[in-house]
Chains A and B, each alone.
Chain A
C-alpha cells in the first residue's frame, strides 16, 4: 500500500442555506479544495461523494454523475461514485478515496460530502433520518432518532449515574468551540441553563442535546504522499483508515450504551497507525446528540466507561483540556449536514494540524482523529491523520 496525504480542503459555511441549491454548495466546497491544493480540476482522477438522502431531501438521485458534471468533469468522464451509510456517508467516502490512492489504482482523488436538508419541512426531514435506523422494526414502532439516542442515555444514566448537568456540558463546550469556528451554523456560546430549560424532545434529551438540520458541503483532495509536495507545503498524512459495522437496530446490540462498532473501528485505527489514545492531540467525534459524545470518547478509549460525564464537566474535553473533543463545535454547534459531516471532521483536523484553526487552535497539534457514526452505531468510520 502507498502512503496517502490530504493535499487540499474546502468547506461551505454550514447552516440553513435557502439561497443556494444542492449543486451550488458542492461546487463551492470543491472549488475551495482545488484552490487550497493550488490545482486545476484537470488533475482529478476520481471522485467519491458522501450523501445520505438527496432522493428524499431534494428528489435527486445519481449524485456521483451530477457532481462530476457540475464540477466540470463530464467531458473528462472520470469515475464519480456516491457512497451512502446514513450519517457516516462522508467518513466512508473519505475512506474509499484513501483506499483508491493507497492501492495505486488512482492518484488524485476528491472525497466530498454534501447534504441539502432544509428544502423539506421538519416532519419530512425527521422521517427521512429515521431511515438510518431500522424503518420496519424501530421507525414503525414510533421511534425517532432523538428517541433512540434518548434510550441510550437512559440506559447509560441507569448504569453509571451521570447527572443531567454533566450531559449538558457537552453542548455548552461544543457551542463554545462553534463560536470560534467561522463555518459553524451556531456562532454563539450557551450556558448550562440554555440546555436545561430547552424544550423536551425525548426524555432525558432536550432540544440543545440535539444536532440541528443543516445544509452544507465539504471536500478534501487526497494524493500519494510522495507527490503531495507538488501541491502543498503542508501535506497531512493519513495514518489510519478503519470502518466497522453492527446490527442496524439498537435493540439488537450487545450493550445498549456501548457502540461496539466504535470500539472495533477505533481499535483497528490505532493498530494500523501503531498509536494509542495518548498520541492523539484532538478528536472530532460524532455528537449527533450529547449522549453520543459521552459514549464515543469512552468507546474510543479516551476515558473509562462510565466516567465521561465527569471527564467532560471537569473540562478535560475542552480546548486546553487533556483531549480537546470537537474543536469545530461538533455536529451540535457546527451543524450536521449528514453526508458532509464525515468530510468536515477531516477538514477540521487538517486545519488543526496545519496550525490554521485560529481561536480554537490546539497548541502544537501533531496527530488528530475523526469518528463518524451512521445511525445509532450500525456503521462507524475512524481516521487518524498526522503532520508530516
Chain B
C-alpha cells in the first residue's frame, strides 16, 4: 500500500493526497509505504449490493484505521458472522470488480483478519 506523508507535520495519507489539509502550501508531500496493518473501526455486512458486486454478497464492508493513522473504506475477507469492531486486520492484494463478463479486471486492497 503506497500512500503519502506530509514531512512538515508528519501526517500520513491513504488514500494518497498531494496537498496537506493541515499545512496547506507549507506542506511537503512525499510517497510513503504503509505497513498494511490496521483495526476495524466499524463495519456492515452488505446483503444488497450494486450489480457488479452482487456475486460477493453477503460481504463485509468496513472502515479500517491503519496503524499510521488514516482510515479507509475496504472489504474484510472473512466469515461475515466473525467480523467485529476492534478486530486486527492486514492488507491483501485482491481482485475488486470486473467490468462485465469480458471487461477490465480491477485490482485493489482488501483486508483479512490477523490470527
Binding site for B on A (CB under 8 A): 123, 126-127, 130, 134, 136-144, 146-148, 150-155, 158, 199-205, 249-252, 256
Complex CA gap A139/B73 in Å reads 9
B46 lies within 8 A of chain A by Cβ: yes
The contact sample of 28 A-B pairs, CB cut-off 8 A, is A123-B50, A126-B50, A127-B50, A137-B15, A137-B72, A137-B73, A139-B50, A140-B96, A142-B49, A142-B61, A142-B96, A143-B61, A144-B50, A147-B44, A148-B73, A151-B62, A153-B44, A154-B42, A154-B43, A154-B44, A155-B41, A155-B42, A202-B44, A202-B47, A203-B44, A203-B45, A203-B47, A204-B44
Residues of B within 8 A of A256 (CB): 41-42, 63
* Given known A-B contacts A155-B42, A202-B45, A251-B73, A141 and B50 have beta carbons under 8 A apart: no
Whether the Cβ atoms of A151 and B56 lie closer than 8 Å is no
Nearest chain A CB to B97 CB, angstrom units: 7
Whether the Cβ atoms of A151 and B15 lie closer than 8 Å is no
B105 lies within 8 A of chain A by Cβ: no
* Given known A-B contacts A155-B41, A256-B41, A144 and B48 have beta carbons under 8 A apart: yes
Whether the Cβ atoms of B47 and A250 lie closer than 8 Å is no
Contact of A158 among B42, B48, B53, B59 (CB under 8 A): B42
Residues of B within 8 A of A249 (CB): 73
* Given known A-B contacts A127-B51, A249-B73, A251-B63, A141 and B44 have beta carbons under 8 A apart: no
B91 lies within 8 A of chain A by Cβ: no
Whether the Cβ atoms of A201 and B61 lie closer than 8 Å is no
Whether the Cβ atoms of A141 and B61 lie closer than 8 Å is yes
Whether the Cβ atoms of B48 and A251 lie closer than 8 Å is no
